Chain A
Protein backbone atom coordinates (compact mmCIF):
# COMPACT_ATOMS: atom_id res chain seq x y z
CA UNK A 1 0.00 0.00 0.00
CA UNK A 2 1.20 3.51 -0.78
CA UNK A 3 0.35 6.86 0.73
CA UNK A 4 -0.21 10.35 -0.61
CA UNK A 5 0.12 12.99 2.12
CA UNK A 6 0.03 16.62 1.12
CA UNK A 7 -0.76 20.05 2.60
CA UNK A 8 -2.13 22.83 0.46
CA UNK A 9 1.03 24.48 -0.84
CA UNK A 10 -0.06 27.74 -2.49
CA UNK A 11 -2.63 30.34 -1.64
CA UNK A 12 -4.27 29.84 -4.98
CA UNK A 13 -5.14 26.24 -4.19
CA UNK A 14 -7.63 27.04 -1.45
CA UNK A 15 -10.52 29.46 -1.13
CA UNK A 16 -14.23 29.73 -0.36
CA UNK A 17 -17.38 31.00 -1.94
CA UNK A 18 -21.10 30.70 -2.39
CA UNK A 19 -23.51 31.79 -5.06
CA UNK A 20 -21.66 34.15 -7.39
CA UNK A 21 -18.77 35.32 -5.23
CA UNK A 22 -15.47 33.49 -4.72
CA UNK A 23 -12.83 34.49 -2.19
CA UNK A 24 -9.40 33.40 -3.33
CA UNK A 25 -6.91 35.17 -1.19
CA UNK A 26 -8.47 35.82 2.18
CA UNK A 27 -6.82 34.79 5.44
CA UNK A 28 -9.82 32.65 6.35
CA UNK A 29 -11.89 29.89 4.79
CA UNK A 30 -15.53 30.52 5.59
CA UNK A 31 -17.71 27.37 5.47
CA UNK A 32 -21.33 26.74 6.41
CA UNK A 33 -24.55 28.57 5.67
CA UNK A 34 -24.13 29.15 1.93
CA UNK A 35 -20.33 29.13 1.75
CA UNK A 36 -18.23 26.20 0.55
CA UNK A 37 -14.54 25.54 0.96
CA UNK A 38 -12.39 24.43 -1.99
CA UNK A 39 -8.98 22.73 -1.64
CA UNK A 40 -7.03 21.64 -4.73
CA UNK A 41 -4.35 18.94 -4.35
CA UNK A 42 -1.85 18.27 -7.13
CA UNK A 43 -0.01 15.32 -8.68
CA UNK A 44 -1.88 12.51 -7.01
CA UNK A 45 -0.09 9.34 -8.13
CA UNK A 46 -3.00 6.89 -7.93
CA UNK A 47 -3.43 5.04 -11.22
CA UNK A 48 -6.73 5.05 -13.03
CA UNK A 49 -8.95 2.53 -11.29
CA UNK A 50 -6.52 2.13 -8.40
CA UNK A 51 -7.92 0.95 -5.07
CA UNK A 52 -8.37 3.62 -2.39
CA UNK A 53 -7.89 1.84 0.93
CA UNK A 54 -8.60 4.88 3.05
CA UNK A 55 -8.48 8.66 2.87
CA UNK A 56 -9.13 11.62 5.08
CA UNK A 57 -8.70 15.35 5.35
CA UNK A 58 -7.30 17.25 8.26
CA UNK A 59 -7.54 20.97 8.99
CA UNK A 60 -7.68 23.53 11.80
CA UNK A 61 -10.48 25.81 12.85
CA UNK A 62 -9.45 29.44 12.94
CA UNK A 63 -8.32 31.31 16.01
CA UNK A 64 -10.58 34.25 15.20
CA UNK A 65 -13.76 34.97 13.22
CA UNK A 66 -16.87 32.83 13.22
CA UNK A 67 -16.82 29.79 15.44
CA UNK A 68 -19.95 27.68 15.34
CA UNK A 69 -20.63 23.98 15.47
CA UNK A 70 -21.67 23.07 11.97
CA UNK A 71 -22.09 20.01 9.77
CA UNK A 72 -21.02 19.91 6.15
CA UNK A 73 -20.46 17.36 3.41
CA UNK A 74 -17.09 16.42 2.01
CA UNK A 75 -17.11 15.95 -1.74
CA UNK A 76 -14.79 16.63 -4.67
CA UNK A 77 -15.32 18.51 -7.89
CA UNK A 78 -16.24 15.93 -10.52
CA UNK A 79 -13.33 16.46 -12.92
CA UNK A 80 -10.81 14.17 -14.64
CA UNK A 81 -8.11 16.44 -13.23
CA UNK A 82 -9.20 19.47 -11.24
CA UNK A 83 -8.66 22.72 -13.08
CA UNK A 84 -7.01 25.69 -11.41
CA UNK A 85 -9.07 27.69 -8.96
CA UNK A 86 -9.67 31.38 -9.75
CA UNK A 87 -6.60 33.51 -9.28
CA UNK A 88 -8.36 36.39 -7.55
CA UNK A 89 -11.43 37.19 -5.49
CA UNK A 90 -14.53 38.58 -7.13
CA UNK A 91 -17.95 37.98 -8.57
CA UNK A 92 -17.78 34.69 -10.44
CA UNK A 93 -19.47 31.31 -10.40
CA UNK A 94 -16.31 29.22 -10.62
CA UNK A 95 -15.60 26.94 -8.82
CA UNK A 96 -19.02 26.82 -7.13
CA UNK A 97 -20.69 25.82 -10.38
CA UNK A 98 -18.43 22.83 -10.98
CA UNK A 99 -20.19 19.46 -10.73
CA UNK A 100 -19.40 17.48 -7.61
CA UNK A 101 -19.08 13.82 -6.80
CA UNK A 102 -22.08 11.71 -5.92
CA UNK A 103 -20.05 10.26 -3.09
CA UNK A 104 -20.26 12.38 0.02
CA UNK A 105 -19.07 12.10 3.62
CA UNK A 106 -20.50 14.15 6.42
CA UNK A 107 -18.22 16.06 8.77
CA UNK A 108 -18.83 17.97 11.98
CA UNK A 109 -16.72 21.08 12.61
CA UNK A 110 -16.70 22.02 16.27
CA UNK A 111 -17.14 25.49 17.73
CA UNK A 112 -13.70 25.56 19.25
CA UNK A 113 -10.89 27.76 17.98
CA UNK A 114 -7.60 26.59 16.59
CA UNK A 115 -8.69 22.96 16.81
CA UNK A 116 -7.48 20.19 14.53
CA UNK A 117 -10.30 18.39 12.78
CA UNK A 118 -9.85 15.03 11.14
CA UNK A 119 -12.55 13.73 8.84
CA UNK A 120 -13.91 10.25 8.64
CA UNK A 121 -12.92 7.98 5.78
CA UNK A 122 -13.54 9.75 2.48
CA UNK A 123 -12.24 6.93 0.29
CA UNK A 124 -15.57 6.77 -1.57
CA UNK A 125 -15.07 10.37 -2.71
CA UNK A 126 -11.51 9.76 -3.91
CA UNK A 127 -12.46 6.41 -5.48
CA UNK A 128 -15.16 8.08 -7.55
CA UNK A 129 -12.59 10.45 -9.02
CA UNK A 130 -9.88 7.90 -9.81
CA UNK A 131 -12.51 5.62 -11.37
CA UNK A 132 -13.41 8.28 -13.91
CA UNK A 133 -12.38 7.06 -17.40
CA UNK A 134 -10.44 10.25 -17.92
CA UNK A 135 -8.44 10.09 -14.71
CA UNK A 136 -4.77 9.25 -14.89
CA UNK A 137 -2.04 9.06 -12.30
CA UNK A 138 -0.54 12.46 -11.58
CA UNK A 139 -3.90 14.25 -11.83
CA UNK A 140 -5.35 16.82 -9.44
CA UNK A 141 -8.32 16.56 -7.04
CA UNK A 142 -10.27 19.49 -5.62
CA UNK A 143 -11.86 18.65 -2.24
CA UNK A 144 -15.06 20.54 -1.39
CA UNK A 145 -16.41 21.19 2.09
CA UNK A 146 -19.96 21.70 1.03
CA UNK A 147 -22.41 23.79 2.99
CA UNK A 148 -25.71 22.06 3.60
CA UNK A 149 -27.76 25.05 4.80
CA UNK A 150 -28.43 26.52 8.18
CA UNK A 151 -27.41 29.96 9.29
CA UNK A 152 -24.12 29.27 11.07
CA UNK A 153 -20.60 29.41 9.78
CA UNK A 154 -17.16 28.39 10.90
CA UNK A 155 -13.80 29.67 9.78
CA UNK A 156 -10.87 27.42 8.82
CA UNK A 157 -7.21 28.33 8.50
CA UNK A 158 -6.10 28.76 4.85
CA UNK A 159 -2.59 28.56 3.45
CA UNK A 160 -2.39 32.35 3.50
CA UNK A 161 -2.79 32.24 7.27
CA UNK A 162 -0.80 29.12 8.15
CA UNK A 163 1.18 26.90 5.87
CA UNK A 164 1.20 24.16 8.52
CA UNK A 165 -2.44 24.27 9.70
CA UNK A 166 -4.05 24.53 6.30
CA UNK A 167 -5.95 21.68 4.67
CA UNK A 168 -4.16 18.33 4.44
CA UNK A 169 -5.17 15.33 2.35
CA UNK A 170 -4.00 11.81 3.08
CA UNK A 171 -4.76 8.93 0.71
CA UNK A 172 -3.76 5.33 1.33
CA UNK A 173 -4.02 3.37 -1.88
CA UNK A 174 -3.07 0.14 -3.57
CA UNK A 175 -2.30 0.43 -7.25
CA UNK A 176 0.47 0.85 -9.68
CA UNK A 177 1.86 4.21 -8.85
CA UNK A 178 2.17 6.29 -11.96
CA UNK A 179 3.16 9.82 -12.52
CA UNK A 180 2.93 11.38 -15.93
CA UNK A 181 5.29 14.13 -16.80
CA UNK A 182 6.03 15.61 -20.17
CA UNK A 183 9.66 15.51 -21.10
CA UNK A 184 11.52 16.97 -24.01
CA UNK A 185 14.57 15.22 -25.35
CA UNK A 186 17.11 16.25 -27.90
CA UNK A 187 20.03 14.50 -29.50
CA UNK A 188 22.79 15.43 -31.86
CA UNK A 189 25.20 13.45 -33.98
CA UNK A 190 28.64 14.47 -32.94
CA UNK A 191 30.39 12.67 -35.82
CA UNK A 192 28.16 14.12 -38.49
CA UNK A 193 30.86 14.00 -41.13
CA UNK A 194 31.33 10.26 -40.80
CA UNK A 195 29.76 8.21 -43.57
CA UNK A 196 29.82 4.53 -42.72
CA UNK A 197 28.26 3.34 -45.99
CA UNK A 198 27.26 -0.23 -46.70
CA UNK A 199 29.71 -3.12 -46.65
CA UNK A 200 29.11 -6.83 -47.19
CA UNK A 201 32.02 -9.21 -46.80
CA UNK A 202 32.50 -12.61 -48.31
CA UNK A 203 32.03 -15.53 -45.89
CA UNK A 204 34.64 -15.82 -43.11
CA UNK A 205 35.74 -12.16 -43.33
CA UNK A 206 34.95 -9.65 -40.58
CA UNK A 207 33.10 -6.66 -41.99
CA UNK A 208 34.14 -4.33 -39.17
CA UNK A 209 37.86 -4.83 -39.51
CA UNK A 210 38.68 -6.17 -42.98
CA UNK A 211 40.23 -3.63 -45.34
CA UNK A 212 41.10 -5.85 -48.29
CA UNK A 213 38.77 -4.84 -51.15
CA UNK A 214 38.86 -8.33 -52.61
CA UNK A 215 37.21 -9.68 -49.45
CA UNK A 216 34.03 -7.71 -50.01
CA UNK A 217 30.95 -8.67 -51.98
CA UNK A 218 29.92 -5.05 -51.87
CA UNK A 219 31.51 -1.91 -50.49
CA UNK A 220 29.79 1.42 -51.07
CA UNK A 221 33.13 3.21 -50.84
CA UNK A 222 34.12 1.50 -54.11
CA UNK A 223 32.51 2.10 -57.45
CA UNK A 224 30.88 -0.64 -59.48
CA UNK A 225 30.25 -1.19 -63.14
CA UNK A 226 26.77 0.23 -63.73
CA UNK A 227 25.09 -1.90 -66.33
CA UNK A 228 23.08 0.26 -68.72
CA UNK A 229 21.84 -1.83 -71.61
CA UNK A 230 22.59 -4.74 -73.88
CA UNK A 231 21.88 -5.72 -77.45
CA UNK A 232 23.18 -7.61 -80.41
CA UNK A 233 24.04 -6.78 -83.99
CA UNK A 234 24.74 -9.03 -86.98
CA UNK A 235 27.51 -8.44 -89.50
CA UNK A 236 27.45 -10.46 -92.70
CA UNK A 237 30.25 -10.63 -95.27
CA UNK A 238 28.56 -11.77 -98.48
CA UNK A 239 30.26 -13.84 -101.17
CA UNK A 240 33.75 -13.09 -100.00
CA UNK A 241 36.46 -14.04 -102.46
CA UNK A 242 39.78 -14.63 -100.73
CA UNK A 243 39.54 -11.51 -98.54
CA UNK A 244 36.70 -9.37 -97.24
CA UNK A 245 35.80 -7.02 -94.43
CA UNK A 246 33.00 -4.81 -93.22
CA UNK A 247 31.71 -2.89 -90.22
CA UNK A 248 28.43 -2.05 -88.55
CA UNK A 249 27.64 0.53 -85.90
CA UNK A 250 25.00 1.08 -83.25
CA UNK A 251 24.22 4.39 -81.51
CA UNK A 252 24.41 4.50 -77.72
CA UNK A 253 23.43 8.21 -77.42
CA UNK A 254 25.20 8.63 -74.07
CA UNK A 255 27.22 11.65 -75.16
CA UNK A 256 30.39 10.28 -73.62
CA UNK A 257 32.61 7.24 -74.12
CA UNK A 258 31.10 4.38 -72.15
CA UNK A 259 32.70 1.26 -70.72
CA UNK A 260 31.71 -1.61 -73.05
CA UNK A 261 32.03 -5.40 -73.02
CA UNK A 262 31.50 -7.37 -76.24
CA UNK A 263 31.19 -11.06 -77.05
CA UNK A 264 31.00 -12.45 -80.56
CA UNK A 265 29.65 -15.58 -82.16
CA UNK A 266 32.41 -16.62 -84.48
CA UNK A 267 32.62 -18.58 -87.70
CA UNK A 268 32.29 -21.88 -85.78
CA UNK A 269 29.15 -20.62 -83.91
CA UNK A 270 31.11 -20.36 -80.66
CA UNK A 271 30.77 -17.36 -78.33
CA UNK A 272 34.02 -15.75 -77.27
CA UNK A 273 35.19 -12.39 -75.90
CA UNK A 274 35.77 -9.73 -78.51
CA UNK A 275 38.30 -8.70 -79.83
CA UNK A 276 39.16 -12.12 -81.17
CA UNK A 277 41.21 -13.81 -83.81
CA UNK A 278 40.53 -17.30 -85.12
CA UNK A 279 40.92 -19.70 -87.95
CA UNK A 280 39.35 -22.72 -89.54
CA UNK A 281 40.59 -25.22 -92.14
CA UNK A 282 40.90 -22.60 -94.86
CA UNK A 283 39.84 -19.36 -93.25
CA UNK A 284 41.29 -16.75 -90.89
CA UNK A 285 39.18 -14.02 -89.24
CA UNK A 286 39.67 -10.95 -87.09
CA UNK A 287 36.90 -9.34 -85.03
CA UNK A 288 37.07 -6.19 -82.97
CA UNK A 289 35.22 -3.02 -82.04
CA UNK A 290 35.82 0.64 -81.23
CA UNK A 291 33.91 3.15 -79.12
CA UNK A 292 33.18 6.82 -79.75
CA UNK A 293 31.04 9.33 -77.87
CA UNK A 294 28.04 8.36 -79.98
CA UNK A 295 28.59 4.87 -81.37
CA UNK A 296 30.01 1.42 -80.99
CA UNK A 297 31.49 0.20 -84.27
CA UNK A 298 32.00 -3.52 -84.88
CA UNK A 299 34.54 -4.78 -87.43
CA UNK A 300 35.06 -8.15 -89.09
CA UNK A 301 37.68 -9.28 -91.59
CA UNK A 302 38.21 -12.71 -93.16
CA UNK A 303 40.88 -14.27 -95.34
CA UNK A 304 40.91 -17.63 -97.06
CA UNK A 305 40.81 -19.74 -100.13
CA UNK A 306 37.07 -19.61 -100.77
CA UNK A 307 34.08 -17.79 -102.12
CA UNK A 308 31.66 -17.76 -99.27
CA UNK A 309 29.32 -15.71 -97.02
CA UNK A 310 30.31 -15.23 -93.37
CA UNK A 311 27.99 -14.12 -90.55
CA UNK A 312 29.03 -12.84 -87.13
CA UNK A 313 26.81 -11.78 -84.23
CA UNK A 314 28.16 -9.27 -81.74
CA UNK A 315 26.57 -9.16 -78.29
CA UNK A 316 27.37 -5.92 -76.50
CA UNK A 317 26.93 -4.77 -72.90
CA UNK A 318 27.07 -1.03 -72.29
CA UNK A 319 27.81 0.37 -68.83
CA UNK A 320 27.16 3.88 -67.58
CA UNK A 321 30.78 4.18 -66.48
CA UNK A 322 32.61 6.82 -68.47
CA UNK A 323 36.03 6.34 -70.03
CA UNK A 324 38.05 9.54 -69.73
CA UNK A 325 41.46 10.16 -71.26
Chain B
Protein backbone atom coordinates (compact mmCIF):
# COMPACT_ATOMS: atom_id res chain seq x y z
CA UNK B 1 0.00 0.00 0.00
CA UNK B 2 1.19 3.49 -0.79
CA UNK B 3 1.70 6.04 1.97
CA UNK B 4 -0.69 8.46 0.28
CA UNK B 5 -3.45 7.60 -2.17
CA UNK B 6 -6.18 9.28 -4.13
CA UNK B 7 -9.42 7.55 -3.33
CA UNK B 8 -13.17 8.06 -3.57
CA UNK B 9 -15.57 5.72 -1.83
CA UNK B 10 -19.10 4.88 -2.75
CA UNK B 11 -21.82 6.68 -0.84
CA UNK B 12 -22.03 5.82 2.90
CA UNK B 13 -18.46 4.47 3.10
CA UNK B 14 -15.71 6.32 5.02
CA UNK B 15 -12.79 6.97 2.70
CA UNK B 16 -10.40 7.26 5.67
CA UNK B 17 -11.09 3.80 7.04
CA UNK B 18 -12.59 1.70 4.26
CA UNK B 19 -10.46 -1.27 3.19
CA UNK B 20 -12.76 -3.27 0.90
CA UNK B 21 -11.78 -2.48 -2.71
CA UNK B 22 -15.38 -3.08 -3.82
CA UNK B 23 -16.53 -0.08 -1.82
CA UNK B 24 -14.33 2.38 -3.73
CA UNK B 25 -15.26 4.28 -6.86
CA UNK B 26 -11.57 5.01 -7.37
CA UNK B 27 -8.47 4.01 -5.45
CA UNK B 28 -5.00 4.76 -6.76
CA UNK B 29 -3.65 1.62 -5.07
CA UNK B 30 -5.44 -0.37 -7.78
CA UNK B 31 -4.95 -0.24 -11.50
CA UNK B 32 -7.81 0.80 -13.78
CA UNK B 33 -8.85 -0.33 -17.23
CA UNK B 34 -7.95 2.70 -19.32
CA UNK B 35 -9.38 3.03 -22.81
CA UNK B 36 -6.02 3.34 -24.48
CA UNK B 37 -7.46 2.87 -27.94
CA UNK B 38 -11.08 3.00 -29.13
CA UNK B 39 -11.58 2.36 -32.80
CA UNK B 40 -13.85 0.95 -35.48
CA UNK B 41 -12.93 -1.55 -38.19
CA UNK B 42 -15.08 -2.53 -41.15
CA UNK B 43 -14.75 -6.16 -42.28
CA UNK B 44 -16.13 -7.23 -45.64
CA UNK B 45 -16.90 -10.90 -44.94
CA UNK B 46 -17.33 -13.01 -48.06
CA UNK B 47 -19.93 -15.80 -48.32
CA UNK B 48 -19.56 -19.48 -47.47
CA UNK B 49 -16.08 -19.12 -45.95
CA UNK B 50 -14.83 -19.74 -42.42
CA UNK B 51 -11.78 -18.34 -40.62
CA UNK B 52 -11.72 -15.02 -42.40
CA UNK B 53 -9.10 -12.93 -40.59
CA UNK B 54 -8.97 -9.13 -40.70
CA UNK B 55 -5.83 -7.49 -39.35
CA UNK B 56 -5.41 -4.05 -37.85
CA UNK B 57 -2.12 -2.63 -36.48
CA UNK B 58 -2.62 -1.25 -32.97
CA UNK B 59 0.58 0.87 -32.88
CA UNK B 60 0.92 0.43 -29.13
CA UNK B 61 4.19 -0.31 -27.32
CA UNK B 62 2.68 -3.45 -25.75
CA UNK B 63 0.29 -6.29 -26.52
CA UNK B 64 -3.15 -5.00 -25.59
CA UNK B 65 -6.12 -6.67 -23.99
CA UNK B 66 -8.93 -6.14 -26.53
CA UNK B 67 -12.67 -6.28 -26.20
CA UNK B 68 -15.19 -5.56 -28.93
CA UNK B 69 -18.71 -5.79 -30.29
CA UNK B 70 -19.96 -6.18 -33.83
CA UNK B 71 -22.89 -4.97 -35.86
CA UNK B 72 -23.97 -6.78 -39.03
CA UNK B 73 -25.25 -4.46 -41.73
CA UNK B 74 -28.47 -2.73 -40.71
CA UNK B 75 -29.28 -5.10 -37.84
CA UNK B 76 -30.30 -3.44 -34.60
CA UNK B 77 -28.51 -6.10 -32.54
CA UNK B 78 -25.01 -5.62 -31.21
CA UNK B 79 -23.22 -8.90 -30.56
CA UNK B 80 -20.16 -9.48 -28.34
CA UNK B 81 -17.00 -11.24 -29.45
CA UNK B 82 -17.33 -15.02 -29.51
CA UNK B 83 -21.09 -14.57 -29.61
CA UNK B 84 -22.24 -18.00 -30.49
CA UNK B 85 -24.90 -18.42 -33.07
CA UNK B 86 -27.67 -19.80 -30.95
CA UNK B 87 -30.19 -21.94 -32.72
CA UNK B 88 -33.48 -21.12 -31.12
CA UNK B 89 -36.31 -23.61 -30.77
CA UNK B 90 -39.23 -23.10 -31.02
CA UNK B 91 -39.09 -20.62 -33.86
CA UNK B 92 -40.84 -17.91 -31.85
CA UNK B 93 -37.65 -17.45 -29.88
CA UNK B 94 -35.45 -17.13 -32.91
CA UNK B 95 -32.34 -15.03 -32.52
CA UNK B 96 -31.97 -13.54 -35.95
CA UNK B 97 -28.99 -15.26 -37.42
CA UNK B 98 -27.34 -14.40 -40.63
CA UNK B 99 -24.74 -17.12 -40.81
CA UNK B 100 -22.10 -14.80 -39.34
CA UNK B 101 -20.07 -15.98 -36.38
CA UNK B 102 -17.62 -13.63 -34.72
CA UNK B 103 -15.12 -16.30 -33.78
CA UNK B 104 -12.39 -14.41 -31.99
CA UNK B 105 -10.29 -11.33 -31.43
CA UNK B 106 -6.59 -11.94 -30.88
CA UNK B 107 -3.67 -9.58 -30.42
CA UNK B 108 0.09 -9.66 -30.44
CA UNK B 109 2.80 -7.06 -30.10
CA UNK B 110 1.90 -5.51 -33.46
CA UNK B 111 -1.62 -6.35 -34.58
CA UNK B 112 -5.18 -7.16 -33.64
CA UNK B 113 -6.80 -10.04 -35.54
CA UNK B 114 -10.59 -10.28 -36.05
CA UNK B 115 -11.81 -13.70 -37.23
CA UNK B 116 -15.22 -14.47 -38.75
CA UNK B 117 -17.04 -17.51 -40.09
CA UNK B 118 -19.79 -17.08 -42.64
CA UNK B 119 -21.98 -20.09 -43.28
CA UNK B 120 -24.31 -18.20 -45.60
CA UNK B 121 -23.67 -17.63 -49.27
CA UNK B 122 -24.25 -13.91 -48.81
CA UNK B 123 -21.39 -11.49 -48.20
CA UNK B 124 -21.73 -9.23 -45.12
CA UNK B 125 -20.36 -5.87 -44.12
CA UNK B 126 -19.45 -6.15 -40.46
CA UNK B 127 -18.42 -3.25 -38.27
CA UNK B 128 -16.49 -3.97 -35.09
CA UNK B 129 -16.15 -1.42 -32.29
CA UNK B 130 -13.11 -2.45 -30.25
CA UNK B 131 -11.36 -1.18 -27.14
CA UNK B 132 -7.70 -1.67 -26.14
CA UNK B 133 -7.85 -1.59 -22.38
CA UNK B 134 -4.54 -2.68 -20.87
CA UNK B 135 -1.38 -4.59 -21.51
CA UNK B 136 -1.58 -8.34 -21.41
Contacts and interface: CB of A to CB of B under 8 A. Distances in A.
Interface in B11-64: 26, 28, 30-36, 38, 40, 60-62
A293 B77 CA distance: 9
Contacts of A323: 69, 78, 129
A287 B60 CA distance: 33
Q: Size class of B's contact patch? A: 35 or more
A292 to B, nearest CB: 5
A245 B89 CA distance: 5
Contacts of A299: 86, 88, 93, 95
Interface in A193-238: 198, 200, 202, 212-214, 216-219, 222-225
B95 A247 contact: yes
Contacts of A223: 34-35, 38
A57 interface: no
Interface of B: 6, 26, 28, 30-36, 38, 40, 60-62, 69, 71, 76-80, 82-84, 86-90, 93, 95, 127, 129, 131, 133-135
Interface residues of A, number: 43
A207 B36 CA distance: 17
Nearest to A290: B77
Contacts of B82: 275
Contacts of B87: 245, 286, 301
Given A202-B31, A299-B95, A275 B60 contact: no
A289 interface: yes
B23 to A, nearest CB: 13
Contact of A245 (B33, B34, B60, B88): B88
